[in-house]
Amino acid sequence: EVQLVQSGAEVKKPGESLKISCKGSGYSFTSYWIGWVRQMPGKGLEWMGIIYPGDSDTRYSPSFQGQVTISADKSISTAYLQWSSLKASDTAMYYCARLLYSSSSIWFDPWGQGTLVTVSS
């Protein structure tokens, strides 16, 4: 079974750093892009960026470029999303998902269970 398992909920203070994880299993982790998606409370889905664990090629949404860092450790089949200085506005649920594509379509499947990040003083 293809599965993505994310790290647990986090509560942080503004200005603190954070790194959350997404571990893949049941497939060749290095052969598929992994994406990160933000969902702020009561809001919709926002694409943040993607990484190809095979060579760590990374692409960011213009909205998130410079705000977060996406990385991966292929030796342990794990992708990461990190912040160097959190803001209250980073409070959200964060999902990782495997990206698949054809010449005419892209889709995310499966999705991790989500990691809730709460930033509050």
Binding residues for other proteins (CB under 8 A): 35, 37, 44-47, 50, 59, 61-62, 95, 97, 99-100, 102, 104-114
* CB burial readout 100-121, b (16+ within 10 A) else e: eeeeeeeebeeebeebbbebee
**Contact (Cβ atoms closer than 8 angstroms) between residue 65 and residue 117:** no
CA–CA gap between residue 66 and residue 73 (Å, rounded): 21
C-beta closer to other proteins: residue 72 or 97: 97
Q: Least separation, in Å, of the C-beta of 44 and other proteins?
A: 4
Q: Least separation, in Å, of the C-beta of 13 and other proteins?
A: 26
Q: Least separation, in Å, of the C-beta of 7 and other proteins?
A: 14
